[in-house]
Amino acid sequence: MTRWIGAHMSTSGGLHNAPLAGVRFGCTAIQIFSKNNHQLSAKPLTPEEITQFKSAVQKSQVTVPLSHCAYLINLASPKNDNYHRSLASMQMEVERAAQLDIPYVILHPGSHTESGVEAGVARIADAINRVHDAQQTKEPMILLECMAGQGSCIGSTFEELLQIMEKVKDQNRIGICIDTCHLFAAGYDIRTGESFAKILDRFAELIGIERIKAFHLNDSKKGLASRVDRHEHIGKGEIGLEAFRYLLNDDRLAEIPMVLETPKNDDGSWDQMNMETLRSLMRQKATLAAS
């Protein structure tokens, strides 16, 4: 069974350092910020940066690199100046990913800031259509990330994600990223394999499992339906291990890249710990099947 797992990796010292760092933890998938995640603008990538990143990916075990958009992007903003700055930044994120041969760009849908969900959904879809129209290539695909439901953020329900997707003209260029912490905080009880299976069945019925292109693997510091986005180490939070054992061993999800966004420390030992936990959960199924 194919399984691409890994973690968000730092690009400190250059984008090429991310896949090289992933080698240390045996990552077959990684996620990066292709630019400063706390800024909307960035200098264009140089040919050298592009070549170095692609070469580093080829030298690593990474099969699927992912890119995460800057947090400041808000395509749902009712304020035209903020909307157009966000749109320009989103176009830049997609362009950079295309230059780096990254197939998926993960986007927090946005916050309607009291203009209402319907208006926010329309703004997000319009922006995505504009980005697609400006793209020179069919890749990368934009992935809407499910959200925890804080404030006026859109995308904490499958129905809201579907509303955005239905308004995107090119259905071949839009997908979903499921964040386990966000899903749980939004009120989806995934603490057991049985309950997670039911939730995925609901997603399959409403949107389609094939539309899930990535997972963020995070436990949650806060409880079910807290609507608070606080990531925790795998098995150390309110979700627990069983949900992740299920995710890692469901054959329907075998070819979907899954990356950790768990807390970091300076020496990387927390990444190592979480990766070892994921591999242990995968081995448990193999052991049971052989017995």
Residues 187, 189: Cα–Cα separation, whole Å: 6
The beta-strand segments (E) located in the chain are: 5-8, 29-32, 64-68, 104-107, 141-145, 174-179, 212-217, 219-220, 231-232, 258-260
**Overall domain count for the chain:** 1
What would the pLDDT profile of 272-283 be if each residue is shown by its tens digit? 999 999 999 998
CA-based radius of gyration for the chain:
18
The predicted structure's pLDDT at residue 229: 98
pLDDT(286) > 80: no
The predicted structure's pLDDT at residue 2: 59
Confidence of residue 138 (pLDDT cuts 50, 70, 90): confident
User: Residues of the chain with pLDDT > 90: what percent?
Assistant: 95
What would the pLDDT profile of 186-241 be if each residue is shown by its tens digit? 999 999 999 999 999 999 999 999 999 999 999 999 999 999 999 999 999 999 99
The predicted structure's pLDDT at residue 285: 64
User: Residues of the chain with pLDDT > 70: what percent?
Assistant: 97
Side chain identity, residue 198: K
| Domain range enclosing 260 | 5-290
pLDDT(269) > 50: yes
Give the CATH number of the domain where residue 270 resides.
3.20.20.150
